[in-house]
Structure 1
Amino acid sequence: MAAVWLSLLLLCVGQTNIIARAAGACVQSGVINEKSVWNQGMSANLNMKFPSAVNSWRVTMTFDRALTNFETWSATPSTSNNVVYTLDNLPYNGNQPAGASLSIAFNAHFASKAEVISVKMNGVEQCRGGVAGAGGAATTTTTTTTTTTPSTGSNNPPSSLPYDYQEVLRKSLLFYEAQRSGRLPSNNRIPWRGDSAMNDRGENGEDLTGGYYDAGDRVKFGLPMAASMTVLAWGAIDFASGYAGAGQSKYVKQAVKWGTDYFIKAHVGSTDFYGQCGNGDTDHAYWGRAEDMTMNRPCYKITASKPGSDLAGETAAALAAASILFKTSNPSYSATCLQHAKQMFQFADRHRGKYQDAIPNAGKFYSSSGYGDELAWAAAWLYRATNDQTYLDKAKGFFQEFSDLSGRPSEFSWDSKHAGVQLLMYQLTGESSYGSMVTQFCDWVKNNAPRSPKGMVYLNQWGSLRHVGNVAFICLVAAKKGLKSNAYENFAIQQLNYILGDGGRSYVVGFGKNPPVRPHHAGASCPDAPAPCGWDQLHTSEPNPHVLYGALVGGPDQYDAYEDKRSDYVKNEVALDYNAGFQSAIAGVLSL
């Protein structure tokens, strides 16, 4: 890098016309690609090409007026005047070979539209005066990765942590935004995503747009979606200070509400609930953008005659948890969530059955092992939301009816809520019997569960790291309740650090050292429209054109073996439930 960096643009009246021409040059040359512009901000990409190899780089970017906020995840930004911004490489993207292209996504916020009028890379002007500099312009694009709300707490993670947990939290929330279905909001932060599945309808024409796509596909599977929303809400409630310190309280509420809005839409009658949109087999025969789908997307429901106590119970839990989360900030919405939660619980309890018997297609992908845990889970959450003794009595009764609820679980997951409901009951009652169940589970995962050579708790080959995040979250909540606090906190941090880099690499897309660049995700693998996208994109060895920031990939096997291969849907898939416990655990550590 050069020793001196020119970072100030001298502005004067006589230069007005020059500035106007230069502003157009940065966009026209492709150095700046304005992906999305709204009244007080824009999402854009800074595109660079390296004519010779470098081991570090610095970009100086000048705007024609002061910004109110600027952030990017792909570089370290700094400014002294909110007009000239210096972007320094991160540890993982400083080395660039000759001819390499790099795209840096950023959000710029302003009182009135700001233009980039100068870009210098390692001291060489790239676009002023209508002529691109020696660096030229790359065409690769990536997703926006910023947050626009100032932090309400510390801007820095605890100094004892070896990784930036706040950055992980922010990026994980971006992953949920990338999974949105339906009409996207005007402040969408994922520029490569657009409106999709706008014709999702029920049997009688009910509007079923919205919700989340499950994984790298485009099916809206109700059970794992609801389980994810419950866990996200739980983390947002119990570890609110972690979100506040990272400036992400607003965004986690938005993430939960995007799911619960959809559940409320899908609850079309007291005993009628749509639990899936899209056929898994048909959807998986298509590799491409959600925005380009043309296949038929049937929506399936559970009813009194074709019940699904697991699905209805989990959705009741999610809505009850959301009612707590929004009780202060949005009381009317909280009341709506609670009303639907009560109805859904009654539906689940009075009309018993597994949901895959009503929705066979769901059983091919997310087959439920039972519904006793969801019934107890829903009742416990409703008690926490209402303080109505009836629900606590119900929850205790389910522990008597379903004996497996008192046993030592082997996991906490979208299918098995046993560890979660044991912990929640201890939180609510303080009864030692529930506390013993919790410590039995956390002691087992901490001391006796299978481990990889590098120390990862290994519970299942499918999404091995989601289980790491899930048990870390459970044990952090237990620690907060006073159960073996130091031991469980240290265990959770050790497991999370494995994910973030202690395992030899980062397993979070767009974060840390050597993160995955080929997650099994169709939309992220597609180039910008209107370029075609199909099965060739699944099998190419090139990195995904769009960075799916914050996504936790499935993870390594029991020997720590992992290959960043897009077609490996066991180790490189991403999913709503993969991030839910992981993100909540990250917030838990930030709350310590």
Structure 2
Amino acid sequence: MNVDLVGGYYDAGDNVKFGFPMAFTTTMLSWSVIEFGGLMKGELQNAKSAIRWATDYLLKATSHPNTIYVQVGDANKDHACWERPEDMDTPRSVFKIDQNNPGSDVAAETAAALASASLVFKKSDATYSKLLISRAIKVFQFADKYRGAYSNGLKPDVCPFYCSYSGYQDELLWGAAWLHKATKKPTYLDYIQVNGQTLGASESDNTFGWDNKHVGARVLLSKAFLVQKVHSLHDYKGHADNFICSIIPGVPSSSSQYTPGGLLFKMSDSNMQYVTSTSFLLLTYAKYLTSSHSAVKCGGTSVTAKRLRAIAKKQVDYLLGENPLKMSYMVGYGPKYPERIHHRASSLPSISSHPEKIPCQAGFSNLNSESPNPNILVGAVVGGPDEHDMFPDQRSDYEQSEPATYINAPLVGTLAYLAHSSGQL
């Protein structure tokens, strides 16, 4: 395609750059810094560097008007190999969306990533911040003008890996919400008001992750109502409250499942991503409630910001080892953690210990081995235990044993808060 796409992140344990989860990861890292950066102390610069590594790539991927390069690597051929990134010889095919093959979901999420990151760099690098927001505006215009799900045109290449299951309406609302926050332009508020009903979802929709942004948009927009008194966004506060009530154990409107050990359980495939994203939303909403001196009414029960923080803390404590197995699901943290994670670079010997190339098929003996991974991927959070709090620690079990950027990203802000605010819980 004759385009420079050096940089960016692989999504998980493979060697493919998927633009959709990468953009969401970037938005969540940025939101973490926006809400809790003041508590990150010496880690703030690391968080900003991690964001910039992604936004530099996203700027390259959006450098041609009405075109976004949304994937590097043939996912099917990549998944047929078990190779170190240094040995990678699978095709670096490039996949794009444009006005003939739209992708409002990945485009609007990319706009959200660029817009949220512009706020992160506003004070420290004004020139870069302006570049990010001007690109975000153009990318969002493209997402809105040429509507469609990216997995329609790119189905063989992006499915089943990162199909857009929830449609693209949630990303348009989410992208507009971030552009409103970053620019303060009434255009985006008007857009949200005019399109909000058609872009909304049923209020029972309480999943937040790389595919579905409805709940995140509700919480983000509720701040404008709660703290900035934008009364036209009143409904989003109500929708955010409904989400909160669906999470709280013991209230009549609770619809969430928890494991016997107390972990929020949404689905068997990479459940920990929902734990980290929900914990982030709980702490963020608690912050908004505190600023506006308000609480959430769940039927006859008044749920305070303090209660939301306690629930988030319990989830993170479980993740870090307070659970029936006494297992930390963050690799390298605590006395007991997953040793056989589904991750090529972690499971194969390093270049320094094994300089010779390990070909495509040869690596599968490492995938199927019972030995612990030779390279400890410190800080990576895996998919986590099943609904019975069990975790087999098997490398082949990608649903439970694979780490992913979008599991870690929301945890960054959550940990920043919990590490420095334990006295305020």
Instruction: Decide which structure has greater helix share.
Output: 2
Deviations for 1:245-290, whole angstroms, at most 9, x for unmatched residues?
A: xx10100001111111101001132201100000110001111111
Percent identity between the aligned chains?
A: 39
Alignment partner, residue 370 of structure 1: 167
Deviations for 1:448-499, whole angstroms, at most 9, x for unmatched residues?
A: 3111010111011111111111110001100000142111000000011000
CA distance in 2, matches of 1:515, 1:441: 32
CA distance in 1, matches of 2:121, 2:200: 34
CA distance in 1, matches of 2:171, 2:269: 22
Residue pair 1:372, 1:398 contacting (<8 A) in 2 also: no
Secondary structure of the corresponding residue to residue 399 of structure 2 = coil
Compare 434-443 and 414-423 and name the one that shifted more: 434-443
Secondary structure of the corresponding residue to residue 558 of structure 1 = coil
Match of 1:293 among 84, 88, 105: 88
| 1:550 is the counterpart of 2:379 | yes
CA distance in 2, matches of 1:465, 1:300: 29
Residue pair 1:376, 1:396 contacting (<8 A) in 2 also: no
Residue pair 2:169, 2:200 contacting (<8 A) in 1 also: no
TM-score of the aligned structures, taking structure 1 as reference length:
0.64
Match of 1:521 among 310, 333, 343: 343
Q: Residue type of the partner of 1:478?
A: Y
Match of 1:466 among 270, 273, 288: 273
| 1:206 is the counterpart of 2:8 | no
Secondary structure of the corresponding residue to residue 264 of structure 1 = helix
Alignment partner, residue 234 of structure 1: 31
> How far is the alpha carbon of 1:531 from its aligned partner?
4.7
Residue pair 2:71, 2:96 contacting (<8 A) in 1 also: yes
Residue ranges of structure 2 left out of the alignment (5+ in a row): 227-232, 290-294, 296-303
Deviations for 1:148-194, whole angstroms, at most 9, x for unmatched residues?
A: xxxxxxxxxxxxxxxxxxxxxxxxxxxxxxxxxxxxxxxxxxxxxxx
Secondary structure of the corresponding residue to residue 276 of structure 1 = strand
Alignment partner, residue 486 of structure 1: 306
| 1:436 is the counterpart of 2:238 | yes
CA radius of gyration, larger in:
1
CA distance in 2, matches of 1:243, 1:403: 34
Cα RMSD (Å): 1.3
> How far is the alpha carbon of 1:532 from its aligned partner?
5.1
Alignment partner, residue 40 of structure 1: none
Match of 1:511 among 321, 325, 333: 333
Alignment partner, residue 567 of structure 1: 396
Equivalent residues, number: 386
Secondary structure of the corresponding residue to residue 248 of structure 1 = helix
> How far is the alpha carbon of 1:536 from its aligned partner?
1.2
CA distance in 1, matches of 2:108, 2:417: 26
Alignment partner, residue 590 of structure 1: 419
Residue pair 1:316, 1:341 contacting (<8 A) in 2 also: yes
> How far is the alpha carbon of 1:240 from its aligned partner?
1.1
Deviations for 1:560-585, whole angstroms, at most 9, x for unmatched residues?
A: 01111111101101111111122222
Q: Residue type of the partner of 2:112?
A: A
CA distance in 1, matches of 2:87, 2:346: 13
Secondary structure of the corresponding residue to residue 408 of structure 1 = coil
> How far is the alpha carbon of 1:591 from its aligned partner?
4.9
Deviations for 1:321-367, whole angstroms, at most 9, x for unmatched residues?
A: 00000000011110111111000100000000001123221122111
Alignment partner, residue 108 of structure 2: 313
Residue pair 2:210, 2:406 contacting (<8 A) in 1 also: yes
Residue pair 1:219, 1:279 contacting (<8 A) in 2 also: yes
Secondary structure of the corresponding residue to residue 555 of structure 1 = coil
CA distance in 1, matches of 2:223, 2:116: 14
CA distance in 2, matches of 1:269, 1:222: 16
Residue pair 1:309, 1:354 contacting (<8 A) in 2 also: yes
| 1:399 is the counterpart of 2:217 | no
Instruction: Decide which structure has greater strand share.
Output: 1
Alignment partner, residue 128 of structure 2: 333
Secondary structure of the corresponding residue to residue 481 of structure 1 = helix
Alignment partner, residue 498 of structure 1: 318
CA distance in 1, matches of 2:283, 2:332: 25
Secondary structure of the corresponding residue to residue 471 of structure 1 = helix
CA distance in 2, matches of 1:389, 1:513: 52
Alignment partner, residue 452 of structure 1: 259
Deviations for 1:496-536, whole angstroms, at most 9, x for unmatched residues?
A: 10000111210100001311111100011111221554111
CA distance in 2, matches of 1:493, 1:458: 16
CA distance in 1, matches of 2:339, 2:48: 28
Secondary structure of the corresponding residue to residue 565 of structure 1 = coil
After superposition, residues 421-432 of structure 1 pair within 5 angstroms as: 421-430=217-226, 431-432=233-234
Secondary structure of the corresponding residue to residue 275 of structure 1 = strand
Residue ranges of structure 1 left out of the alignment (5+ in a row): 1-202
CA distance in 1, matches of 2:154, 2:370: 36
Residue pair 1:466, 1:582 contacting (<8 A) in 2 also: no
Q: Residue type of the partner of 2:68?
A: F
Alignment partner, residue 252 of structure 1: 47
CA distance in 2, matches of 1:555, 1:233: 24
TM-score of the aligned structures, taking structure 2 as reference length:
0.88
CA distance in 2, matches of 1:309, 1:591: 38
Q: Residue type of the partner of 2:65?
A: S
Q: Residue type of the partner of 2:7?
A: G
CA distance in 2, matches of 1:532, 1:526: 11
Alignment partner, residue 273 of structure 1: 68
Secondary structure of the corresponding residue to residue 162 of structure 2 = coil
CA distance in 2, matches of 1:372, 1:432: 20
Residue pair 1:241, 1:590 contacting (<8 A) in 2 also: no
Q: Residue type of the partner of 1:495?
A: Q
After superposition, residues 105-144 of structure 1 pair within 5 angstroms as: none
> How far is the alpha carbon of 1:590 from its aligned partner?
3.2
Secondary structure of the corresponding residue to residue 560 of structure 1 = coil
CA distance in 2, matches of 1:557, 1:294: 35
CA distance in 2, matches of 1:477, 1:591: 15
Q: Residue type of the partner of 1:476?
A: L
CA distance in 1, matches of 2:285, 2:420: 14
Residue pair 2:225, 2:237 contacting (<8 A) in 1 also: no
CA distance in 1, matches of 2:409, 2:266: 17
Match of 2:207 among 403, 408, 411: 411
Deviations for 1:34-67, whole angstroms, at most 9, x for unmatched residues?
A: xxxxxxxxxxxxxxxxxxxxxxxxxxxxxxxxxx
Runs of 4+ with deviation above 3 angstroms: none
